[in-house]
Structure 1
């Protein structure tokens, strides 16, 4: 959940809104992850539908209700399949939904809409697959939150305090290399705290995973900044006070959870993706 590209220009009052919103959202996200089950699935379905609404608004405008309903229906149905332990069928349904939606949009918007369904669908599917129904899944989600949130916060404040060369000025003019390094170091420290809290984890391996996920989360932030720049938008929407849209909050988490699930599936398969991510 990474900061928008122009955070260093935020006014103090807007920064206060960001802090208040984060203070509300963080406990809710952790509490939902702790509960797991259908509560966790519904939470990420709603997040994915919000992302889909924002993406379609950026690409095609807000008056495409039929497209939103049809694409959203595919995401909801895929969530049911994922929650009932049919993740491969869920992926196929999202792909079919994307292909179906592409038929009803102009050619110039077709690839963008397909990408948006994939973006929102993976935003829903990856956390559900990783969380599963056991305690290891909760630990994996907590690790992701710790890495992404710490990267976000420390990148912001380190960049403001130190400054220096820009990370990618053509995409996000205010981000710096010092902020990127500070955020990554903070994520590694946060991963050590999570590994210590849950116990039984290889701290060096978890730190290496955190290093990778921190870099990936920052890449996700830059990718979303590029999308918004392409469509001349400052924020994906104004759903979250002080933060912009749901996409603006979940861009880094989306990228990190995709890579985390890939690592987990590679090492643990669909039966134990969280153990594949955490146990080395």
Structure 2
């Protein structure tokens, strides 16, 4: 296989996909706005000239849509046209379990990707890694109070490492997957239950406070998020409250041959060890 272009190559899943491709003997190109290391290439969604350079000689693409765009298809469609013209045959899209083809804006990406000769759509549930780093949930962990509009509904949080492992298989397997993979962890938890697990490992109180959808959207906007995108994310929390994410799938194990990582193991290894 020729090189694989990994968009968001330094991000949460992208850097793990890059590492997995290297371990599989495939040369990755990590697309980033500011390449600093060997194997990284410059990529700007709004600068089409960078698309051609990044795509040259690549046979497959791991596609992470532009962050913060409520209508990303306007940027992604020209890129995919460039990719197919450059000889890319396989495209693996990182989507979301909350997104369907009919979802306004971001749902259009799934239709675009199916135009590739070989494709896969990864639809993970909410990331376990949201509890770390710069995410608002992670800030809630640090503050002792996680705020969402999910009520007491459950989410089968999934580890980014498991998402990346599925992506690597979808990018490198001899035969194309040509399907969607709904990816979850092994158990569904409410944010209150997840907060209790984190609190037990950290040895300090952490609680979940449920707010209304409008209030949550306002909090996201106040954090610096564009208003339109904040409304999209708040609506996803509302979907969770209605039960949309309360299910577990075997997809991670079916594709990779190993069980999905549990939230307890994630907290023990990634949070409590810091």
Fold match (TM-score > 0.5): no
Higher strand share: 2
Instruction: Please report the TM-score for the alignment, with normalisation by the length of structure 2.
Output: 0.29
Higher relative contact order, structure no. (Cα contacts within 8 Å, ≥ 6 residues apart): 1
Instruction: Please report the TM-score for the alignment, with normalisation by the length of structure 1.
Output: 0.29
